[in-house]
Amino acid sequence: MTQAVVTRFAPSPTGRLHAGHGFSAVRAHDLARAAGGRFLLRIEDIDIARSRAEHVEAIRADLAWLGLAWDGYAVQSERMALYAAALARLRAMGVVYPCFCTRAAIAALSAPHGPEGALYPGTCRGLARGEDPERSHAWRLDVAAALRVAGGAALRWHDARAGWVRADPASLSDVVLARKDVATSYHLAVTVDDAAQGVTDVLRGADLFHATHVHRLLQALLGLPTPRYHHHPLLTGADGERLAKRHGSPTLAAMRLAGADGRAVADRLRQAGRGNMDHADGIGFAAPVP
């Protein structure tokens, strides 16, 4: 029996959604609907300091305005026990280590850069076991040890545009899996949640392509299934810059409150996905950011 398609849209409620978010949501929704599958909404609010309840409500209102209905709903801050259990398994396997470096100390280090910025140089990887791990600022994945356990040479994942990709988690170095102030990370939480929710197809922006290398390694370590990946190009404005709050991109909430037709906006986003628009300004709205 063919496995039912399950997709998800997983925004962080740290700000208002813009057309780029809508682009991802529409694509995930439409793939599920075309296959007679399920489309899930997951609120990724593990950044407690920046997440806001009003942004969660706006996300739900924006999706409804676009005409997108979800079949399941989850909130990451309510799932911390799942992430703690996964981290405990990784600790027992000996593939994570406590990191005592502060963010300021890491920023001051001279390190090479990878696809997602400065790489952690492994300062704490070889610390004496006498250190109290509970005093650490973070838990990091020991990529070299993890690859030995998981048989890294055989790990791969499939992307709809790139085809089969050999997993190369070392390109991101020893990523953080949990911090003292936040008991999980994007990498750990998204891997656990996609498996727990039965997600078969992950649609997200190309800016997260490289993160998949780490997610594939975590899946192998934890014995979790590997979804199919669809990393799509990012929407840009007429200036060629990717849509982002810092670039003043108009938000979906601003369009919605200005009286725009949400279903028409969703259709324009679908046209963008088919290559019928040069850039996101072709959506036709220039509402100010609220």
3-class secondary structure for 78-99?
A: HCHHHHHHHHHHHHHHCCEEEE
- pLDDT of residue 284 exceeding 50, the answer is no
Do 18 and 95 sit in the same domain of this protein?
A: no
- The number of residues making up the chain comes to 290
Domain that holds residue 153: 81-187
Three-state DSSP class for residue 257: helix
Q: Quick check: is 212 in a domain?
A: no
149, 169, 187 — which closes off a domain? 187
Q: How far apart are CA 94 and CA 180, in angstroms?
A: 19
- Position 215 confidence tier, pLDDT thresholds 50, 70, 90: very high
- Which among 12, 9, 10, 8 has a CA at the least distance from the CA of 55? 12
Three-state DSSP class for residue 154: helix
Q: Quick check: is 216 in a domain?
A: no
Averaged pLDDT for residues 12-26: 95
pLDDT tens by residue, 218-259:
999 999 999 999 999 988 766 666 656 555 567 999 999 999
pLDDT tens by residue, 137-185:
899 999 999 999 998 778 999 999 999 999 999 999 999 999 988 999 9
Do 42 and 96 sit in the same domain of this protein?
A: no
The count of structural domains within the chain is: 2
Do 40 and 54 sit in the same domain of this protein?
A: yes
Do 112 and 73 sit in the same domain of this protein?
A: no
Instruction: Please list, residue by residue across 49-79, b when 16 or more beta carbons sit within 10 angstroms of its beta carbon and e when fewer do.
Output: eebeeebeebbebbbebbebebeeebebbeb
Please give the pLDDT value at position 276.
47
pLDDT tens by residue, 119-135:
898 889 988 555 666 67
Report the amino acid identity of residue 48: I
Please give the pLDDT value at position 127.
80
Do 125 and 94 sit in the same domain of this protein?
A: yes
Q: Quick check: is 175 in a domain?
A: yes
Q: Quick check: is 142 in a domain?
A: yes
Query: Which two structure tokens, joined as six digits, stand for 130?
Result: 């006498």
- pLDDT of residue 68 exceeding 90, the answer is yes
Do 86 and 176 sit in the same domain of this protein?
A: yes
Based on C-alpha coordinates, what's the Rg of the chain? 20
Least confident of 29-43, 81-95, 106-120, 158-172: 106-120
CA distances (Å), origin 73, targets 94, 158, 188, 246 = 34, 26, 19, 28
Q: Quick check: is 225 in a domain?
A: no
Do 94 and 180 sit in the same domain of this protein?
A: yes
- CATH number, domain of 257, equals 3.40.50.620
Q: Quick check: is 210 in a domain?
A: no
Q: Quick check: is 72 in a domain?
A: yes
Any idea which residues carry the catalytic annotation?
Answer: 245
Please give the pLDDT value at position 109.
67
Do 59 and 87 sit in the same domain of this protein?
A: no
Do 30 and 112 sit in the same domain of this protein?
A: no
Q: Structure pTM?
A: 0.89
- Position 116 confidence tier, pLDDT thresholds 50, 70, 90: low
CA end-to-end distance (rounded Å), the chain: 48
- Position 214 confidence tier, pLDDT thresholds 50, 70, 90: very high
- The CA-based dihedral angle spanning residues 271, 64, 39, 15, taken in that order and rounded to the nearest 10 degrees: 90
